[in-house]
Amino acid sequence: MDDELKRSIILDNFSNPKNKRVVDDPSYLTSNTNNESCIDNIDLFVKVEDGKIVDICFNGEACAISTSSTSIMIKNLIGKTIKEAKAYVNNFEAMVNEEAYDEELLNDAIVYEDIYKQKNRVKCATLPYTGIKKIINNLED
Amino acid sequence: MNRNDFLMLNQDIIFFDNAATTFKPVSVVNAITDYYNKYCCNAFRGDYKIGLIVDDNINNTRNLVKDYINANSTKEIIFTSGTTEGINIVAAGYFRKILKEHDEIILSKGDHASNIMPWQRLASELNLVIKYVDLDDSNYVTLDNIKRVVTPNTKVISLAYISNVIGDLRPIKEITNFAHQNGIYVVCDASQSVGHRKTDVQDLDVDFLVFSGHKMYGPTGIGVLYGKKDLLELTDPINLGGGMNETFTDFDYQLKELPTRFEAGTLNIAGIIGLGEAIKYINSIGIDKISEYEYKLREYLVNKLIKLDYIDIINLESDSGIVTFNVDGIFAQDVAIYLDKYNICVRAGNHCTKLLKDVINVRNTIRISLAFYNTTEEIDTLVDLLSDKDKIIREML
Ligand SMILES: Cc1ncc(COP(=O)(O)O)c(C=O)c1O
């Protein structure tokens, strides 16, 4: 993917993020990333039915990279089983940590393939993943 | 001013995060390396010549600090690791002994975590009440608002002299005057002021004052706790150990006099020497000259920023080199990262002042904090980069 396209995907997900809204529904599992970063703050709301993620929303104040990364993650995770979601998260983390990963699984999240070059941005891109792991790692595959 | 004194400025960098820490002049760095390279040994125990140089230097720094803040005596000057440790000693070493249930402490939401959390712990231990003074329309602390929260139970007011996000200079002298008429102690966090503005503890009449060396062109890991002598006499040291005990037996000990009793263990000797050199350096320029110059720089910056209608300046007027703002629609950290691409260092975030968001309604801001080695040319470069919002958005990723 060329840099212009990556930039426009990131900006688009930043300006029009997927499912940015607060949910007040006890059937959603929640997590907050306040402790992970002293600046970005993202709340995730995840609804799981029969071992499958059926909805994810988020809310919070975060930078362009965190916000867009959250939006892209949400698009990619809705509809996945917990097992698939875990595999996707591992794959994304492998990419930003410069380890071997499967491009196919990542869809648009591939826009962060070079993020490791910007040390001060790695944490931003992975922030929603830190949040989602707090939820799905407690669930059976 | 004096840019040649700072090797950090030899590189292509514009440093606007001086409220976090300042650069160190060559004289400070040399004094520290001289200690390690020429007379490295421990303090107050050597029976040899180089040990005496160390002792002299420690005493010299204590004297320099005393004169710099116009304390009465070197007994009132205690070396700490920094502001944070200083406030913790004051809260846990003095106020834990004298405060009682339902006593009240007045703080401000514009203050740093280190001037909030030690009091919160004390409050929960002793069942005290913390009250936050209302900030005025400019987010300043005023004496009138202090008077509004004071009650017969108020025992302590603890405030920064200059706050680290709003940059307002608090009317500490007037607050102290009023507080003392009402039997209230005043603790002052001078970390943001001591390198930028004259500090006279006798004139301010504060009971305790703390600061860090690293925000005044000195090294990290060294700071000062000033306390009035009669209060320090009643303060318990937090650390016990070598150097500060007069004698100890199997089950008992006796502490040395002030200030030694607060300085257990091997001192941060290099830090103390560096701090002394930093004070000499500031004195060689003149603290008033530094204040005036930094204030002019601030005005220059604000007058330019104010012309950009998508920039929202949080502290239009303040009496320090701190200018805090946001770029409309762009997250503070994205702006900071954009500027970093041009080697301009600014700080984005809540600046350890997490309670301020309740007052200013924004959680994160961009903070420029100036020092005397900054220039109008540097400000021009910054403002040029901020003058094109589309460019920020294009390049922030
Ligand atoms: C107002 C204020 N108080 C306290 C501190 C803490 O100082 P230190 O980290 O040197 O202990 C800071 C530093 O950021 C500050 O700005």
Mutate to test the interface with B, among A7, A14, A59, A63 (most CBs of B within 10 A): A63
User: Lowest mean pLDDT: which of A137-141, B87-91, B360-364?
Assistant: B360-364
When pLDDT is averaged across residues B112-123 and rounded to a whole number, the result is 97
Quick one: which of B367, B361, B362 has its CA closest to B305?
A: B367
How far apart are the CA of B187 and the centre of ligand 1, in A? 14
CB neighbour list of residue A104: distance below 8 Å, 6 or more residues apart: none
Residue of B nearest to A114 (CA): B397
Instruction: Please report, as a single letter, which amino acid is at residue B364.
Output: N
Residue where the block lists tokens 């946001």: B326
* For chain B, percent of residues with pLDDT exceeding 70: 100
How far apart are the CA of B163 and the centre of ligand 1, in A? 10
Mean pLDDT of chain B: 95
Distance CA B58, CA B54 (A): 6
Q: Is B40 a catalytic residue?
A: no
Higher pLDDT, B14 or B359: B14
Contacts of A61 in chain B (CB under 8 A): 331, 363-364
Contacts of A124 in chain B (CB under 8 A): 333
Q: What is the CA radius of gyration of chain B?
A: 22
Pairing of strands B14-15, B344-345: parallel
Pairing of strands B311-313, B129-133: unpaired
Give me the residues paired with residue B211 across strands. Answer: B224
pLDDT given at position A119: 85
Q: If you take atom 3 of ligand 1, which residue's CA is the nearest one?
A: B112
Cβ neighbours around B147 below 10 Å, total: 12
* For chain A, percent of residues with pLDDT exceeding 70: 96
User: Lowest mean pLDDT: which of B18-32, B36-50, B123-137, B378-392?
Assistant: B36-50
**Do A128 and A69 contact (CB within 8 A), yes or no?**
yes
Cβ neighbours around B180 below 10 Å, total: 14
Question: pLDDT by residue (tens digit) across B333-382?
Answer: 999 999 999 999 999 987 777 788 877 777 789 999 999 999 999 999 99
Pocket of ligand 1 (CB under 6 A): B 19-20, 82-84, 112, 114-115, 160, 164, 189, 191-192, 212, 352
Contacts of B330 in chain A (CB under 8 A): 64
A39 vs B340, B348, B396: nearest CB: B348
Please indicate whether, in this complex, the C-beta atoms of A63 and B333 are within 8 angstroms of each other.
Answer: yes
Distance CA B201, CA B68 (A): 10
Distance CA B184, CA B152 (A): 9
**Do B376 and B1 contact (CB within 8 A), yes or no?**
no
A99: closest CA of chain B, how far (Å): 22
Quick one: which of A52, A58, A97 has its CA closest to A74?
A: A58
- Structurally, at CATH architecture level, domain B3-24+286-396 sits in Alpha-Beta Complex (3.90)
A120 vs B337, B350, B397: nearest CB: B337
Please indicate whether, in this complex, the C-beta atoms of B334 and A63 are within 8 angstroms of each other.
Answer: yes
Query: What region, left, alpha or beta, does residue B273 occupy, with left being phi > 0 and alpha being psi -120 to 50 degrees?
Result: alpha
Distance CA B388, CA B367 (A): 19
**Using N-to-C axis directions, what is the helix angle for B287-305 and B269-285, rounded to 10°?**
80
> What total of structural domains would you count in chain A?
1
Question: Which residue among B21, B81, B84, B351 is best mutated to probe the pocket of ligand 1, counting the most ligand atoms within 8 A of its Cβ?
Answer: B84
Task: Give pTM, 2 decimals.
Answer: 0.91
How far apart are the CA of B291 and the centre of ligand 1, in A? 19
Q: Check whether A38 has a pLDDT greater than 70.
A: no
Residues of chain A numbered 20-39 and touching chain B (CB < 8 Å): 38-39
Tallying the residues shown for chain A, one arrives at 141
pLDDT given at position B364: 86
Residue of A nearest to B332 (CA): A63
Please indicate whether, in this complex, the C-beta atoms of B397 and A10 are within 8 angstroms of each other.
Answer: yes
3-state helix, strand, coil in chain A (%, to 5): 50, 20, 30
Question: Which residue among B22, B164, B199, B365 is best mutated to probe the pocket of ligand 1, counting the most ligand atoms within 8 A of its Cβ?
Answer: B164
Distance CA B218, CA B22 (A): 8
What is the signed CA dihedral for A91, A95, A101, A104, rounded to 10 degrees?
A: 80
CA angle B150, B155, B160 (to 5 degrees): 80
Inform me whether the C-beta atom of residue A123 falls under 8 Å from chain B C-beta atoms.
Answer: no
Question: pLDDT by residue (tens digit) across A41-66?
Answer: 899 999 999 999 999 999 988 899 99
CB burial readout B7-17, b (16+ within 10 A) else e: eebeeeebbbb
pLDDT-derived band at B75, boundaries 50, 70, 90: very high
Quick one: which of B311, B269, B287 has its CA closest to B36?
A: B269
How far apart are the CA of B83 and the centre of ligand 1, in A? 6
Distance CA A90, CA A126 (A): 11
**Do B231 and B93 contact (CB within 8 A), yes or no?**
no
pLDDT given at position A35: 58
Residue A65: both structure tokens together = 């990279």
Quick one: which of B383, B361, B355, B362 has its CA closest to B163?
A: B355
Residue of B nearest to A7 (CA): B397
pLDDT given at position A33: 77
Class of B27-284 per CATH?
alpha beta
pLDDT given at position A37: 60
| Domain range enclosing A41 | 3-140
Mean pLDDT of chain A: 91
Q: Active site residue: B41, B188, B345, B352, which one?
A: B352
Quick one: which of B159, B263, B249, B257 has its CA closest to B208?
A: B159
pLDDT given at position A36: 60
For CATH 3.90.1150.10, list the domain ranges present in chain B: 3-24+286-396
Chains A & B: contacts with CB separation below 8 Å: 36
Give me the residues paired with residue B162 across strands. Answer: B169
CB burial readout B105-118, b (16+ within 10 A) else e: bbbbbbbbebbbeb
When pLDDT is averaged across residues A86-111 and rounded to a whole number, the result is 94
Q: Check whether B175 has a pLDDT greater than 70.
A: yes
Pairing of strands B208-212, B185-189: parallel
Q: Check whether B45 has a pLDDT greater than 80.
A: no
| CATH number of the domain within which A89 lies | 3.90.1010.10
Q: Check whether B193 has a pLDDT greater than 90.
A: yes
Residue of B nearest to A117 (CA): B397
DSSP H or E stretch at residue B43: none
Contacts of B350 in chain A (CB under 8 A): 38-39
* For chain B, percent of residues with pLDDT exceeding 90: 90
Give Cα separations from B297 to B167, B302, B303 (angstroms).
14, 9, 10
pLDDT given at position A41: 83
For CATH 3.40.640.10, list the domain ranges present in chain B: 27-284
Q: Check whether A34 has a pLDDT greater than 70.
A: no
At B361, phi and psi to the nearest 5?
65, 15
